[in-house]
């Protein structure tokens, strides 16, 4: 399974070979670096349960993204091809960032989320995706993790927003 994950990341990395500018190149790098960091963290911590959760969440992210790309067939803003919706770069980046968030805590995920947001920005700025493609990719990456990932140390901190409130929810399981 580890080999399959690394092979998938290498296949995704091929896109960075064709990057035209710094913004696009950084987006290409972050789409790989974020899930690799998430998986690497699980490996470093010898978190076998986290590894399995990562496989499920990231696999779901990729399967959903590429199923939609090849069924929706939306033309890219630069008219290069018809696989604009959803953004795979953004789905991958948010998949890695949200795994870190949900498994290891909000504090560990601040920088990864900033990098994931930049990845989405890079896709629109490079004229490879529309904003709705990026939002859909981010949603897929985040939701895939919500289905499969549980907290590492039984404690999580979630921001909550509503029409009349903003706050944090602290959850502990035993």
Q: Where are the domains of the chain?
A: 20-172
Tokens of 91: 């789905």
Quickly list H helices, 73-154: 88-104, 106-125, 131-148
Model pLDDT for residues 113-171, shown as the tens digit of each residue: 999 999 999 999 999 999 999 999 999 999 999 999 998 876 555 566 677 877 656 56
Res 50 pLDDT > 90: yes
Which pLDDT score, from 0 to 100, does residue 68 have? Answer: 96
Which pLDDT score, from 0 to 100, does residue 108 have? Answer: 85
* Cα 60 to Cα 148: distance, rounded to the nearest angstrom: 9
Q: Which residue has the tokens 């979630």?
A: 158
pTM score, whole prediction: 0.79
**In this structure, what are the phi and psi dihedrals at residue 131, rounded to the nearest 5 degrees?**
-60, -40
Buried b (16+ CB within 10 A) or exposed e, 17-41: eebeeebbbbbbbbbbbbbbbbbeb
* Cα 94 to Cα 38: distance, rounded to the nearest angstrom: 11
Q: Which residues lie below 8 Å from residue 56, measured CB to CB, with a gap of 6+?
A: 147, 148
Pairing, β 155-161 against β 166-172: antiparallel
């Amino acid at each position: 399974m580890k080999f399959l994950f690394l092979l998938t990341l290498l296949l995704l990395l091929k896109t960075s070979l064709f990057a035209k500018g710094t913004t696009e190149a950084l987006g290409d790098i972050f789409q790989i670096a974020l899930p690799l960091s998430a998986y690497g963290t699980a490996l470093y911590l010898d978190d076998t349960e986290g590894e399995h959760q990562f496989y499920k969440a990231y696999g779901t992210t990729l399967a959903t993204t590429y199923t939609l790309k090849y069924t929706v067939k939306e033309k890219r803003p630069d008219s290069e091809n018809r696989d604009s919706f959803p953004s795979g770069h953004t789905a991958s980046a948010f998949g890695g960032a949200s795994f870190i968030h949900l498994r290891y805590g909000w504090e560990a995920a601040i920088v990864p989320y900033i990098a994931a947001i930049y990845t989405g920005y890079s896709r629109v700025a490079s004229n490879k995706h529309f904003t709705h493609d990026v939002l859909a990719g981010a949603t897929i990456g985040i939701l895939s993790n919500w289905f499969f990932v549980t907290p590492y140390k039984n404690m999580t901190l979630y921001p909550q927003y509503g029409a009349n409130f903003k706050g944090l929810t602290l959850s502990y399981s035993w």
